Amino acid sequence: MPLQVSDYSWQQTKTAVFISVPLRGVCARDADVFCTENYLKVNFSPFLFEVFLYAPIDDENSKAKIGNDTIVFTLYKKEVAMWETLSVSGVDKEMMQRIREKSILQAQERAKEATEAKAAARREDQKYALNVMMKIEEEERKKIEDMKENERLKATKELEAWKECQRKAEEQKTIQREEKFCEQGKQVGEERNKLKHKSLTRIAASRNLATKGRNSENMFLEKLKEDSIPGPRSVGSIKISFTPRVFPTALRESQVAEEEEWLHKQAEARRALNTDIPELSDLKEEEKNPEWLKDKGNKLFAKENYLAAINAYNLAIRLNNKIPLLYLNRAACHLKLKNLHKAIEDSSKALELLTPPVADNANGRMKAYIRRGTAFCQLELYIEGLQDYEAALKIDPSNKIVQNDAEKIRKIIQGTELKS
């Protein structure tokens, strides 16, 4: 049973009420203070102080100070007036219970509102943080795009500078050739003038010696004929015959028809040049050569500049889409960049062009199978990858590297762990 505290004191002004409640040993940690606009309670075991206020107060701005065995309340009135008493008179137990319950409900509603306000503030903070993060990511994306654009402009400038150097070098070579031709023309003219002068001198000398007799004249005329300029060589024709190509296959395993078809397709591929693309009109002649572009792409691949190498192969394929090595090399670039589906497409296109299967294109077919099989394995399509590796082994059964890779793929398919 708690002990009711009755020896308290209170004072008031028109705006505030001051209550002093003595509690022996009270501290802020152990005291339980509950206050609403009409009800005030302090519970400090075994003491209990409870008062039903005469008029409503501003419980949000009211204060309590605990110390020196006393709690001092400063309660601000909602209406400016002097109270007749501290607590309302004529309150029975039932009314006290209703006031207590009403005060508890008010406190609960206020706590609920405070919780909802705190949750709303937290949501606003999260929304603000999300907006800030999106803004930062947008700035980062824009920064990356700007860097890409700067790199593209830099590469374009370097390409233009390289083209200008090539053009100047070509102009210099043309000037040097023209100068060389002019010098050779001058030398030929001088030689002709010398020979003409020499012949005229000899003719004049022969005329001066004509009086020495017919025999002497004949002798000088024969000598003059011998020393004169020789006539042009007679026109003729040279016949050239080529030996037939010898294939490495034995007669009983001969694939002459397939190899002839392969050679015919290669010849057609070299002739299938598409130079009518409008955006290629400003390129130099060597830049319109697929072989030159293929060599350029190979050099860029060796320098690990795979994107630039792909651009070179793309342009070469636009000029001539019948050369299988272009697709095969571009597939290698896509493998390096992890563009696995594109690597599979290019390898398959190379295999379509590398037909019929003959010894001359065996190396290309083997590379195409290995690259496509590697792409399948990196996509975790191990069965398709194993099929391509086995097709490569049919071309070169003694290749140890391909044998080991195929065995690893089989173990993965069977679910066994490989030992490192």
Q: What is the pLDDT of residue 370?
A: 95
Judging by beta carbons within 10 Å of its beta carbon (0-12, 13-18, 19+), is residue 384 exposed, middle or buried? middle
Place of tokens 């082994």: 393
Q: Collect all residues with Cβ–Cβ distance below 8 Å to 215 and sequence separation of at least 6.
A: none
In angstroms, the CA 178 to CA 162 distance is 24
Domains 3-90 and 289-414 share a fold: no
Q: Kindly report which listed range (48-52, 337-341, 373-377, 389-393) carries the lowest average pLDDT score.
A: 48-52
Q: Kindly report which listed range (1-5, 19-23, 31-35, 261-265) carries the lowest average pLDDT score.
A: 261-265
In angstroms, the CA 347 to CA 375 distance is 10
Q: What is the pLDDT of residue 41?
A: 84
Instruction: Give residue 179's pLDDT band: very low, low, confident or very high (50, 70, 90).
Output: confident
How far from 357 is each of 138, 249, 273, 394, CA to CA, in Å?
53, 13, 24, 12
Is residue 245 over pLDDT 80?
A: no
Is residue 334 over pLDDT 90?
A: yes
Q: Over range 103-115, report the average pLDDT.
A: 84
Omega before residue 46 within 30° of 0, cis: yes
- Residue range 26-53, pLDDT digits in tens: 887 888 888 888 888 888 888 888 888 8
Q: Kindly report which listed range (116-125, 179-188, 278-287, 351-360) carries the lowest average pLDDT score.
A: 278-287
Q: What is the pLDDT of residue 254?
A: 58
Q: Over range 161-176, report the average pLDDT.
A: 90
Q: What is the pLDDT of residue 221?
A: 47
Q: Collect all residues with Cβ–Cβ distance below 8 Å to 391 and sequence separation of at least 6.
A: 369
Q: Over range 388-396, report the average pLDDT.
A: 94
Q: Kindly report which listed range (82-86, 143-147, 293-297) carries the lowest average pLDDT score.
A: 82-86
Q: Over range 144-160, report the average pLDDT.
A: 91
Instruction: Give residue 347's pLDDT band: very low, low, confident or very high (50, 70, 90).
Output: very high
Q: Are 84 and 106 in contact (CB under 8 A)?
A: no
Mean predicted lDDT score pLDDT of the chain = 82
Q: Over range 355-369, report the average pLDDT.
A: 90
In angstroms, the CA 39 to CA 95 distance is 12
- Residue range 400-414, pLDDT digits in tens: 999 999 999 999 998
Q: What is the pLDDT of residue 94?
A: 78
Q: Would you kindly state where each structural domain of the chain is located, as residue ranges?
A: 3-90, 92-183, 289-414
At the fourth CATH level, the homologous superfamily of domain 289-414 is Tetratricopeptide repeat domain (1.25.40.10)
End-to-end CA distance of the chain: 78
The b/e string for 44-71 (b: 16+ C-beta within 10 A; e otherwise) is beebbbbbbbbeebebeebebebeeeeb
Most confident range, picked from 22-31, 165-174, 207-216, 255-264: 165-174
Q: What is the pLDDT of residue 244?
A: 58
The CATH number given to 3-90 is: 2.60.40.790
How many CA within 13 A on the CB side of residue 148?
Answer: 7
Place of tokens 């195929």: 406
In percent, how much of the chain has pLDDT > 90? 33
Q: Are 395 and 365 in contact (CB under 8 A)?
A: yes
Tokens of 283: 């390129």
Which is more confident, 394 or 78?
A: 394
